[in-house]
Amino acid sequence: MKIAEGQESKKAGYKVPFGTVSITPKARKLIDTALDTKWVTKGKYVREFEEKFAALFGMRHGVAVSSGTDADALACAALYDFGAQRGDEVIVPALSFVATGNAVFQAGLTPVFVDIRRDTLNIDPDLIEAKITKRTRAIMPVHLMGKPAAMDKILALAQKHGLKIIEDAAEAHGAEYRGRKIGSIGDMSCFSLYAAHIVTTIEGGMILTNCDKTVEALRSLRNHGMAGKFTFQRIGFSAKMNELEAAVGLGNIEIFAHILETRRRNMLYLIDKFRRFDKYFITLKEEAYEKLGPHAFSIVLREGLNFTKDEFVAHIEGQGIDSRNLFYSMPTQCPSYAFLGHRLGEFPEAEYCSDHGTHIGIHQDIEVGQLDYVVEVVERFMKSTGYSI
């Protein structure tokens, strides 16, 4: 049964497009109903979506917002209800989509960057404690590409130093760590519901928490800091989700298991097929104690190869395989962060992965034959550059 529409990448001519959007018949019906009733701002669909999304992860409360960035920003701003002051610090990995660092600034706090591990793409837990100061209020691990961060060590550090944990689970829908769902481990967790993700509202985000005090703050923060009618208790945001977006999300929750299963099939298939390239590329592996959230398939060139990441990307793009750069070291490779005074070389692992990494799609509209095509294209490229497979 076909359940997906709006595949922009395919329209652009890619044989293996990066992303897709699943819009179900249920979503269309709900959208029509909302339009007919003329109630399209936050209402019953948003509340239903919050409840059902939270239930997917075994959490008590969900707060729907307008983007994953807003989810991170509001989660950081909620720290003020627990004693944080303007300028206090939140520890984040150096390598992530820039929204992670931006959100901390937007909340009036200061991101403190920690380098990552090349084999996981996630924050190096052994480097975190050295960055903790008297002004540290939270650790925000990012489960990049759906690979769970080392939450056991992070939990231990947070408990030792009295810190909150905010999980940036933007790309980790469906991931698990030591029997626990990613998004259910920290004090708060933040999801992006952008078009490329497993559950999408086209644009949107979600914050999960089990804490009544936290959810009260979050609901106020997303609506200008309002409590009741025009009583403003906090410096807030305008970050509400609307009924049309929630309708798309409710449709995606209906087929969540199907999307997750299909994406995991694609991810595990490529992990297996890329073993033949282990001498040349670093790709994420799934350990026995975890399940990767199947967001995308990352490829990082190993050192000493006779071709560059740009040459590799140019080749696969030329053969119709859509790709994206593997983000950047925010403090040293994003010009917008130059005011912090960091210099290239301070975060060598993050910088390496950015300079040598890319990622491709494994979404629910990709078939196994297309994955075989990816492997064939990569194998031809490696042979053309003189490497044996």
Tell me the per-residue pLDDT of 38-76, one tens digit each, with 9 for 90 and over. Answer: 878 878 999 999 999 999 999 999 999 999 999 999 999
- CATH for 256-384, options being 3.40.50.980, 3.50.50.60, 3.40.50.2300, 3.90.1150.10: 3.90.1150.10
- pLDDT score at 12: 56
| Residue spans per domain, the chain | 21-254, 256-384
Q: Which of 15-29, 127-141, 273-287, 297-311 has the lowest mean pLDDT?
A: 15-29
Q: Does the structure show a pLDDT above 60 at 10?
A: no
> How far is 256 from 132, CA to CA, in rounded Å?
38
pLDDT single digits (tens) 296-348: 999 999 999 999 999 999 999 999 999 999 999 999 999 999 999 999 999 99
- pLDDT score at 9: 39
> How far is 82 from 37, CA to CA, in rounded Å?
40
pLDDT single digits (tens) 108-134: 999 999 999 999 999 999 999 999 999
Q: How far is CA 222 from CA 44, 232, 274, 283, in A?
A: 17, 12, 43, 37
Q: Spell out the residues 6+ positions from residue 99 whose beta carbon is closer than 8 angstroms to its own.
A: 67, 68, 69, 72, 170
The two tokens of residue 155 are 């939990």
Q: Is the pTM of this model over 0.75?
A: yes
Q: Does the structure show a pLDDT above 90 at 249?
A: yes
Residues 108-145, buried b or exposed e (16+ Cβ, 10 A)? bbbbbbbbbbbebbbbbbebbeeebeeebbbbbbbbbb
The answer to whether 98 and 336 are in contact (CB under 8 A) is yes
User: Over the chain, what is the mean pLDDT?
Assistant: 94
| Rounded mean pLDDT, 373-381 | 98
Q: What CATH topology corresponds to 21-254?
A: Aspartate Aminotransferase; domain 2 (3.40.640)
> How far is 345 from 356, CA to CA, in rounded Å?
15
Topology alike, domains 21-254 and 256-384: no
